[in-house]
Chains A and B, each alone.
Chain A
C-alpha cells in the first residue's frame, strides 16, 4: 500500500501544486487533495480558527480538516521564501503550527520548511528531506526532486514565475484537469496520473470559446484572455483583477468574480499573466521593495499592466482583515488615482460574501467604465440576444436609464479621468 499524502487545496497550493504533486508521484505515493472550496469546508475552517483570521486561512484549515481520515499524512509545508529577498505572509510562516494547535484528529502533519533565501539548492535539500521523512531512500528522493523541479520549472513555475503572454483561456474552472480527475461525496478525490504526467486538456465553455488548460496549471489558475476572442471581434473592455491566486482563482472565495466578468464579455487579466521579468522591471516604482512574495508580485504586476498595457479598470480582490493588503490596497488606490488615472475598485471578500453583492459592485464599475468609453450596453453585450449573458436583470435597465446616481458610493475612489483606449 503506497502512502497517501493529503494536500489542502488552499493558499500556496495554487502556485506549488505542480511541484508537490509531481514529487510525490515520482516517489510512488498517492496524492489526495481536498476538493474545491465549498460551504462544508468553510464551516469546518471557521470552527477552528480565531475570528479575526483572514478568510484564506480559515478556508485552509477547513481544507486540512477535510483531509482527516482520507490521508495517511497531511502535507502542510512551511513556505517561508521562494525567491531571495521575499518572504511569505507571516501567516504562511506559522501555518503548520496554527493547524497543529487547533485542528484535532489530524493525521501526522508534514511541515517541511522551504526557505530559498540562501539560494536555490535549498529547494532540492528540502525536497530530499521531505522524501526521506516519508520513508524513501536519499537517492530516490533526490532523483524525484530533480524531476519534480524540472517539471515545475517547465510548467508550474513557468506559469507562475516566468509566464509568457499569449495563450488564452476562458471558462469555468475545471478541477484539476476535469475528466481525468475525480470527485467523491466530500469533494475529495485522488488526482489522476494523466495530470501528473502532463496531459494537456482542451475544452470549450458554453460560449464556444476555446480554452486551454495545460497540465501545468492543472486548470487551477486561469490565464487571461489575450487578443481577439469571441467571433473574431475584439472584446471592448479589459479589466485587471489583481489579487492573490488563492483568492482570485478560488471561485468560492472570490464569489466567481472572474466568471461574472467574463460572462459580461470583459477581457480579464490577472497577475499570473505578467511574467516575472516584467514584474521585476517595476522595481523602480517603489522606494522600498515590498517584502512579501505575493504582495510584491501583485503590486508590481498592477504597475506593469497600467504602464505597458491598455486596461480600462483595475479590480483589487482582497480578503477581509488581510494584513499585507492594507498596504497593497492603499498603494493601488492612490496610484490608480494620482498616477495612472485608471478606474479602481477594491472588492473585499470573506467567507460570508454573497455573489449578488460582488456582482452588483462589478456591474456598477463596468457601467462607469463603459460610459466613459462611450459604449452602449448593446455593444458590450455583443448585440441583441446576448443580454442574458450573466448580468443581473437590473443592470441593464439601470444602464439604459443612464442612472449614474449612487454609482460613486459604490466605488472606493471617484475617478475623475480615465484613460481612453484608442
Chain B
C-alpha cells in the first residue's frame, strides 16, 4: 500500500512522517505547481472550486508516481468539501486509475467511525499508534507556533529574510525530531530564536487580518504567498486559521460537544445568523473581530465559485461600512496571476496607509 494525501503547506512532511510511522509506504505529494493546477483544471468540472482542482491534480501526480491509496477528509455539508472525495474518486476512476480511497469523515460524536477508517491504514500496534499521533500533533502545533511568531517578526525585521530562513530551518528540524522530548526541545529553541530576530522597534506596521476558505488560506502555493508578500511590504498579517486549532475545534472538541467557535459565531450573528458551511460564518465573524480589535484592514481569500465565501462576500461590504474597516476580496482561480494579485495588494496597502495618515492628522 502506497499512501498519498492532500498537500498542505509546511504540514506536508509531518503527514508523510505520520503515515510512515504507521507502517505504510508513502508517496509524498508534490508541492502544487502549474502542472498540478493544469491537470486538475483539465479533469475537474469547470465550476469546481480551486481546492478541488488542486487536490485532483495532486492526486493524479501522486498516482503517476506510484501511489495506490489516497487518504483525505470528508464532511457532512453543507459545503462541497464533504463530497470532494467521491467526486475525485469518480473522476479518477473514469480516467482509468486504479487505487483505494479512504475518507476520514468527521461525523459528530461518532469517534469510532473515524477510528475504524484510520485502522485500515494502521499497520502497527496501538501503543505505537498513540505515539505516532501525539508526535504528529506536537509537530503541527510547533509549526503553527513558528509561523505565528514569524508573521509577527517578518514585517519589521532588520535583516530581510532572516525570519523566513529560521522558519524553514525550524520546520526541517522538527521534521527530523523523533520523539516528543526532541520535538519539544527543537520547538522551544526555534520559537525562542524566531522571537529574537532583530526587528526595528520604532515601526508600527499596518495590521491586516487574513480570512477565507481554509485551503487557500493555509496553502501558500495557491494563495500567492499572500502573507509573506504582505510582510515584505512591511505589513503585519494575522492568519485567522491554523491547522492545530482547526482540527481541534472540528474533529475532537466537536465530538465532546465543546464549541470554542461560539464567540466567532456570536460576532457574526448580526450579519449572518446561520452556519453556511466552510468558513463562511467565520469570515464574517472574524471581520467583525478584526474591526473591533483595531486592525487596519481585512483580506478575504475566496476560491472562485466557493459557496460559503460568496455568501460572506455578499455580506462583508455591509460589515465594512458599519464598522469602518476596508475589506479586499481576492477571488482565486486557475486564471489568477501573481502580477494581478500583487497590484491589488499594493493598492490595498496604499489605501490603508492613507487612511491611517488621515486618522493620525485628524487626532493630532
Contacts and interface: CB of A to CB of B under 8 A. Distances in A.
Interface of A: 49-50, 52-53, 78, 80, 87-91, 93-94, 97-98, 101-102, 113, 286-288, 290-292, 320-327, 329-331, 334, 338
B260 interface: no
B313 interface: yes
Given A94-B280, A98-B314, A327 B274 contact: no
Contacts of B308: 90, 94
Contact of A49 (B271, B304, B305, B314): B314
Interface stretch (B14-22, B40-48, B142-150, B286-294): B40-48
A298 B308 CA distance: 22
Given A291-B76, A321-B305, A331-B90, A97 B49 contact: no
A215 B305 CA distance: 37
Contacts of B90: 330-331, 334
Contact of A94 (B76, B82, B311): B311
B87 A331 contact: yes
B87 A327 contact: yes
Contact of A323 (B80, B273, B315, B331): B80
A90 B280 contact: yes
Contact of B272 (A87, A97, A292): A97
Interface of B: 44-49, 52, 74, 76-80, 82-83, 86-87, 89-91, 94, 271-278, 280, 304-308, 310-311, 313-315, 317-318, 331
Contacts of B280: 90, 94
B78 A52 contact: no
B45 A292 contact: no
A52 B45 CA distance: 16
Nearest to B314: A98
Nearest to A333: B45
A327 B310 contact: no
B317 A102 contact: yes
A78 B306 contact: no
A326 B48 CA distance: 5
A51 to B, nearest CB: 9
Nearest to A286: B86
Contacts of B318: 101-102
A164 B63 CA distance: 47
A291 B317 contact: no
B83 A327 contact: yes
Contacts of A53: 310, 314
A49 to B, nearest CB: 7
Given A90-B277, A330-B45, A330-B90, A323 B306 contact: yes
Contacts of B89: 287
Contacts of B304: 52, 321
A98 B314 CA distance: 6
Given A87-B77, A89-B78, A94-B274, A52 B310 contact: yes
A80 B78 CA distance: 10
Nearest to B87: A327
B70 to A, nearest CB: 14
Contacts of A329: 45, 47
24 contacts: A52-B305, A53-B314, A80-B274, A87-B78, A89-B307, A90-B78, A90-B277, A90-B278, A94-B314, A97-B315, A98-B315, A101-B271, A101-B314, A113-B274, A290-B83, A292-B77, A321-B304, A323-B47, A323-B305, A326-B48, A326-B52, A327-B45, A330-B90, A331-B87
A292 B78 contact: yes
Contacts of A291: 76-78, 82-83
Contacts of A50: 310, 313-314
Given A94-B314, A101-B317, 15 more contacts: A50-B310, A52-B313, A89-B307, A93-B276, A94-B274, A94-B276, A94-B308, A101-B271, A102-B314, A288-B83, A291-B78, A291-B82, A323-B80, A326-B45, A326-B80
Contacts of A49: 314
Contacts of A320: 47
Nearest to A99: B314
Given A52-B310, A93-B78, A288 B86 contact: yes
A160 B202 CA distance: 67
A421 B52 CA distance: 38
B77 A98 contact: no
A290 B86 CA distance: 10
Nearest to A111: B273
Given A53-B314, A330-B91, A323 B274 contact: no
